[in-house]
Amino acid sequence: MRVSVVGTGHVGLTTAACLAHVGHEVLGVDDDSEKIAVVARGEVPFHEPGLTELVREGLDTGRLRVSSDPTEAAPHGDVVFVSVGTPTKESGEANLVQVERVARIVAGTLDGYTVVAEKSTVPVETGLWIRRTIERTARPGAEFDVASNPEFLQEGRAVQDTLEPDRVVVGANSDKAVERLREVYRPILDRAGCPFVVTDLATAELIKHASNAFLSTKISFINSVADLCERTGADVEAVAAAMGLDPRIGPSFLRAGIGFGGSCLPKDLRAFRYKAEQLGVDSGLLAEVERVNHQRVDAFVEKVRTVLWNLDDKRIALWGLAFKPDTDDLRHSPALEVARRLVAGGARVVAYDPVAVSAAKPVLPEVEFASDPYEAARGADCLAICTEWSVFATADLDRLRDEMANPVVVDGRNVFDPRALAEAGFTYASMGRTTASPSRV
C-alpha cells in the first residue's frame, strides 16, 4: 500500500521506516529540508537504536522515499499519517497549528479517497477539527476520512514497539477508513498477534492521553510512596516489586526516582489537564500528579545537599543527562534541572552521558563535560546519578571510589544495590531507600 507520513520526529520517522520494512511504499515528508537531507543520506537526526538500519534498508530497497514538499503527501498516500509536533503553550494547551497546516495542505492536494490519520498526540476533538478544516478547504466531492491512530512507542525502543506493539488503536467514524488502516497494519498484526482496537474518533484520541496520564500517575504514586519509605526505613524497590506481582497493578512504571521527563508525559499530562478543565471536568488528580513530579528534583537536590552540607566549592560528578536511557533526548530531562540547581548552589558540576553530551553542551553552558564516567568522577566530592544507563550499573566500583575525592553517591534512579555500594566503601543515598554507609573503608 502507498503510505505518507508527515513529520520526521521520533514517531514519524520510526513509523515511516517500519512501514517500509513491512512492505509498504512509504513517503516520509517534512518541510524542514535540512532534516530531510539528513534522512536522505541514510542518517537519523536523533539517537534511536536500530532505526538507522531500517531507514537505510528502506532507502536501498526504494520502499522509503523522503521529500521536503508537503504537497506530495496526499497524492502519494492512500493513507496520510499526520505526525507533526504538538508543543505545549504557556497555558498548558496543546499548540495544534502544525496539525492545522498539514490538514489544509492535504485538503488542497487530495487525489482519490484518502484516509488522514492523526498520529500526533492531540487532545480529544482534534480529529473533528481536522475533518472540518479539510471540508472547508478541499474541492467539492473530494473523498476522505479522518481517523485517529495513536502511537504508544517509547523512545529508546521505538522500532521494537512499532513492529511488535501491544495494541493498535484505530478510531474512525467510517468502516472504509478502518479497513484501510487494518490493511496498513496487517503485516504488523500478523507478526505481533496483538489486538486491533476499533473505536470512534474521540475515544481513540482519549485512549492516548489517558494512557500517558495513567503512566504519569503510576510514577508519581510510587514516588510519593518512596518518600514514605524514606521516613519509615522501608524499601520502595521491595514495595514496588511486591505490588507489581498483583496482575491488577502490574510491575511496569513503578520505578521511583527523580521523576518523569521527555517530550511526552509532561506535555501530554498538561494538555490533558487543560482539556479536562476546558470541558468543566475536575482535573485535580492530574494536577497532583504534576505537582509530585515537580518536587522530585527538589527532593534530589536536597539529598545531595544533605550528604555534602554545603554545595559551595564542591565538585559534583553528574552521570546521565538524557531524560531516560537509550536516547539523546534532553527535553524536560530532570537531569538538566538538577545540573542547573547544583551550579546555582555554588557547585562545580562535571557531567557525563553516553550519547547526550553534544546536545547538552549548548543548554548547560555552566557545566563541564567528561568523555567517560570515571573522568567525570575524578576528584569529585559526590556523584549524582540522574539517568539509569546500563553502563552505570556495571561500573567498576573500586575504580570509581579511587577516582573520587569522597566516595559519596546520590542515586536518583536506584541504579545500585545499597549493600554493594556500602561494601565497596561508599556512602550511598538513593530514592525511597535508607542511606547506606560504608561497611569497609
- Binding flags for ligand UGA, 304-333, as an x/- string (CB under 6 A): -------------------xx---------
> Which residues touch 213 (CB under 8 Å, ≥6 apart)?
268, 269, 272, 286, 289
User: Could you give the 3-state DSSP secondary structure of residue 283?
Assistant: coil
CB of 302 to ligand UGA, least distance (A): 18
- Binding flags for ligand UGA, 339-378, as an x/- string (CB under 6 A): ----------------------------------------
Nearer to ligand UGA, 74 or 168 (CB): 168
Among 83, 86, 121, 148, binds ligand UGA (CB under 6 A): 121
Q: Does 219 bind ligand UGA (CB under 6 A)?
A: yes
Cα(235)–Cα(237) distance, integer angstroms: 6
Among 48, 155, 337, 353, binds ligand UGA (CB under 6 A): 155
Cα(426)–Cα(438) distance, integer angstroms: 5
Interacting span for ligand UGA (CB under 6 A) from 43-51, 82-90, 249-257, 313-321:
249-257
Residue 2, C-alpha cell as written in the block: 502507498
Nearer to ligand UGA, 288 or 423 (CB): 288
- Would you say 204 and 126 are in contact if contact means Cβ atoms under 8 Å apart? no
Q: Does 215 bind ligand UGA (CB under 6 A)?
A: yes
Q: Does 264 bind ligand UGA (CB under 6 A)?
A: yes
* Beta strands 64-67; 2-6: pairing state: unpaired
Cα(274)–Cα(86) distance, integer angstroms: 14
Among 16, 18, 36, 153, binds ligand UGA (CB under 6 A): 153
Nearest CA to 71 out of 8, 156, 131, 4 is that of: 4
> Which residues touch 144 (CB under 8 Å, ≥6 apart)?
106, 110, 113, 114, 115, 116, 134, 138
> What Å distances lie between residue 414 and 270, 392, 410, 429, 434, CA to CA?
27, 11, 9, 9, 12
User: Could you give the 3-state DSSP secondary structure of residue 61?
Assistant: helix
Among 44, 254, 304, 351, binds ligand UGA (CB under 6 A): 254
Nearer to ligand UGA, 139 or 248 (CB): 248
Q: Does 290 bind ligand UGA (CB under 6 A)?
A: no
User: Could you give the 3-state DSSP secondary structure of residue 206?
Assistant: helix
Among 77, 92, 165, 262, binds ligand UGA (CB under 6 A): 262
Count of residues interacting with ligand UGA (CB under 6 A): 22
CB of 146 to ligand UGA, least distance (A): 20
Cα(56)–Cα(44) distance, integer angstroms: 10
Cα(192)–Cα(19) distance, integer angstroms: 14
| Run of H or E residues at 80 | strand 79-82
Q: Can 264 be counted among the known catalytic residues? A: yes
Identity of the amino acid at 237: E
* Beta strands 315-319; 64-67: pairing state: unpaired
Interacting span for ligand UGA (CB under 6 A) from 19-27, 101-109, 128-136, 251-259:
251-259
CB of 262 to ligand UGA, least distance (A): 4
Nearer to ligand UGA, 81 or 260 (CB): 260
Residue 278, C-alpha cell as written in the block: 476546558
Among 98, 137, 154, 217, binds ligand UGA (CB under 6 A): 154
Interacting span for ligand UGA (CB under 6 A) from 20-28, 43-51, 110-118, 212-220:
212-220
Nearer to ligand UGA, 133 or 220 (CB): 220
CB of 205 to ligand UGA, least distance (A): 13
Interacting span for ligand UGA (CB under 6 A) from 68-76, 131-139, 147-155, 310-318:
147-155
- Would you say 256 and 218 are in contact if contact means Cβ atoms under 8 Å apart? no
Q: Does 151 bind ligand UGA (CB under 6 A)?
A: yes
Other CB atoms closer than 10 Å to residue 374's CB: what's the count? 17
CB of 312 to ligand UGA, least distance (A): 29
Nearest CA to 211 out of 161, 175, 174, 160 is that of: 161
Cα(7)–Cα(98) distance, integer angstroms: 10
Nearer to ligand UGA, 138 or 429 (CB): 429
Q: From the candidates 18, 194, 229, 264, which is the catalytic residue?
A: 264
Residues at the site binding ligand UGA, with contacts judged by CB under 6 A: 121, 151-155, 212, 215, 219, 253-255, 257, 259-262, 264-265, 268, 323-324
So which residues are the catalytic ones? 264
